């Protein structure tokens, strides 16, 4: 059992080193090393760097981060103490952050205007400003699984999503999701929670086909803890759809996209694609197989911010 836990820690640590943030890398590195904070403090002291246990704990839990020269020297020493590659911790810090509220996305995030075209991007910004979107920057998306259902009239029926999220700081209670339909003639979309969460505040822009919702976890997360949430978006579309994609503002460890077609409405061809932004050209385009159960899927690992999706041709 211990070897399974150790392997899981190594895998999570390797992912965190690639995606951040600093607090997640530090927490997982300490867990993987088996060292107590007191032992780390003693080793730092032996090399002439004095850091309090409270400060180390705050760094680990995301309540503060190292910024002073002495603190940055301590971080470099901890990379060696925790057997991390050079710059595994320091590369997560980036420039000195502003005080108070976030003024822009932290490193590794894409701005909304790169994921939604105008005027939808302005509407999304407004809706997110009314919700607690700050929590999204305090979560790592370990995995995300979408199931998009297409009906007999080639119309979108529903989207079911399951996410595994890991807290990078203490007291994380919710995430925010944004959903969009291309059928602007339909009534407002509905969101139903299925497992381990409930909806909080919801904002909608029917004219842009947008819905934003807070997903409140069934418990408050401490740093390093995970939540598995599942929910569905129901639509009443009557227009044919020929694509589905997921836009990522931050990295995700694994993305699985399944599209399930009605047996009476199966496309002639189906393709996967990637885009670095909504205005960028498609990359990595290739045809994918539609199985005899009338579904197709895409699996992507270590997904950077951007867009991954599928499109299909009816004839």
CA distance 309 to 36: 44
Here the tokens at position 61 are 């839990």
Mean pLDDT along residues 20-39: 88
Q: Is the pLDDT of residue 255 over 70?
A: yes
Whether the per-residue pLDDT at 105 is higher than 50: the answer is no
Domains of the chain: 2-92 (no CATH), 112-313 (2.60.40)
Question: Given a cut of 80, is residue 137 above it in pLDDT?
Answer: no
- The pLDDT assigned to 312 comes to 97
What's the predicted TM-score (pTM) here?
A: 0.70
What average pLDDT does the chain have?
86
Query: How high is the pLDDT of residue 187?
Result: 62
Q: Is 81 exposed, middle or buried (0-12, 13-18, 19+ CB in 10 A)?
A: middle
User: Of 227, 223, 253, whose CA–CA distance to 27 is shortest?
Assistant: 223
Query: How large is the C-alpha radius of gyration of the chain?
Result: 22
Sheet architecture: strand order including 172-180? 172-180, 210-221, 197-205
Query: H or E element: which one contains 46?
Result: helix 37-46
């Amino acid at each position: 059992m211990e070897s399974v836990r150790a392997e899981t820690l190594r895998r999570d640590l390797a992912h965190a080193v690639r995606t951040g943030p600093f607090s997640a890398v530090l927490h997982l590195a300490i867990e993987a090393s088996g060292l107590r904070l007191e032992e780390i403090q003693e080793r730092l002291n032996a090399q002439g760097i004095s850091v309090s246990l409270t400060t180390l704990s705050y760094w680990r839990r995301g309540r503060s981060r190292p910024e002073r020269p002495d603190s940055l020297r301590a971080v470099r020493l901890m990379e060696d103490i925790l057997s991390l590659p050079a710059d595994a911790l320091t590369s997560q810090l980036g420039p000195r952050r502003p005080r108070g509220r976030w003024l822009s996305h932290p490193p590794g995030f894409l701005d909304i205007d790169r994921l939604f075209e105008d005027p939808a991007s302005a509407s999304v910004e407004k809706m997110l400003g009314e919700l607690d979107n700050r929590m999204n920057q305090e979560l790592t998306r370990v995995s995300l699984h979408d199931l998009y259902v297409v009906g007999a009239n080639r119309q979108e029926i529903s989207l079911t999503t399951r996410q595994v999220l890991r807290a990078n700081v203490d007291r994380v209670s919710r995430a925010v999701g944004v959903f969009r339909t291309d059928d602007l003639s339909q009534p407002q979309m509905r969101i139903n929670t299925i497992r381990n969460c409930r909806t909080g505040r919801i904002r909608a822009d029917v004219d842009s086909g947008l819905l934003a919702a807070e997903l409140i976890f069934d418990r408050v997360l401490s740093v390093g803890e995970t939540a598995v949430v599942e929910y569905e978006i129901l639509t009443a579309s009557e227009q044919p759809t020929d694509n589905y994609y997921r836009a990522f503002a931050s990295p995700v460890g694994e993305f699985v996209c399944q599209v399930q077609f009605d047996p009476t409405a199966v496309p002639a061809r189906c393709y996967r694609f990637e885009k670095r932004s909504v205005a960028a050209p498609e990359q990595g385009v290739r045809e994918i197989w539609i199985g005899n159960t009338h579904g197709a899927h895409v699996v992507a690992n270590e997904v950077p911010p951007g867009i991954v999706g599928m499109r299909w041709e009816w004839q």
